[in-house]
Amino acid sequence: MTLSSMLSARATFGSNLVAMPTPMNPDSSLDEAGISAVAKHLVDGGCDGIVVAGTTGEAPTLDNVELLRVLELVRASAGPDTRLVVGVGTNHTAKSVATAREVAAAGADALLVVTPYYSKPSQAGVIAHCTAIADATELPVMLYDIPGRTGLALTYETLIELSEHPRILAVKDAKGDLFEMMSLLAETGLQYYCGLDELNLPYLAAGAAGVVSVMGVVGADRNRALINAIDASDLTAARAINDAVRPLTAALMRTAPGVVTAKAALHETGVIAHTSVRAPLLPATEAETSVVRAALVADGQLLNA
């Protein structure tokens, strides 16, 4: 890993990214006012990149017309300087290629490509899939390694091979193998982004270029402070920031699916009007909401009612 390669990744994707939920109305239609409000809220909170239509954005339930409308609304509210990384990965290569071309034409800054899920192709198939998507546009690509959801990890050897593609530049890692990350940073040009909020501190300390955060929907300012502390080699400050935000992270990441708790948090803080999600997800229960609410109260974002 070199400083120049990290700075290049940050210029391309940002450093303080948030996985943005897609606000929905109770009838499951897009909440366009909510989408605009969340995008503005995230930028105001200090994020410099937004992942649109990732897992937290309920990508599997969005058709391409909706995806392009979400991208349009986020761009209008986030402004031209916020990097928009758009999820295009599916388990259907041709569909992913077509979607990549559509979002590129609509103004995406980069693509997020998740490992093909359910089908469980060979690693050679994964390489062919990712390469086809990367070849479809001129946009930079961030791979998304999340075997807990896809049932299929990117192996070390696969990541080595994919790193040779000129547009595959980064990995959003939700696998949690820090040693693999450090080895690949040392041996390839790939840059890493932490995709597990519980591990933001160790990933950044080990050389990750940034984070792609769910907790950042209500804590982007703390993620920014954490990144700044690590950049300044101030581990004492970084540990203090991490410890302070740990209860909020636990509430959002360990209570219910991240999109469910993220929408609950955004609703509790008045950013969105509804906690609606699309089936098969269900909105936060009162018990789940109470956990999120208590964490927001403890964090000073809500008055203790």
Q: Please report how the helices 64-78 and 93-105 are oriented relative to each other, as an axis angle in degrees rounded to 10.
A: 40
Catalytic residue status for 117? no
Question: Which residue in 117, 144, 175, 193 is the catalytic one?
Answer: 144
Q: Please give the distance of CA 209 from its chain centroid, rounded to a whole number.
A: 13
Q: Please report how the helices 64-78 and 32-44 are oriented relative to each other, as an axis angle in degrees rounded to 10.
A: 40
DSSP H helices in 22-165: 32-44, 64-78, 93-105, 123-136, 147-150, 156-162
Tokens 């928009």 -> residue: 84
- Between CA 26 and CA 112 the distance in angstroms is 28
- Identify residue 187 by its one-letter amino acid code: E
Question: Which residue in 40, 95, 172, 193 is the catalytic one?
Answer: 172
CA atoms within 13 A on the CB side of 183: 9
| Whole-Å CA distances, 176 to 41, 171, 240, 247 | 29, 12, 22, 20
Catalytic residue status for 144? yes
List the structure tokens of 74: 């986020």
- Identify residue 232 by its one-letter amino acid code: A
DSSP H helices in 146-193: 147-150, 156-162, 178-187
Residue 47: phi, psi to the nearest 5?
-80, 150
Of 108, 87, 96, nearest to 12 (Cα)? 108
Catalytic residues: 144, 172
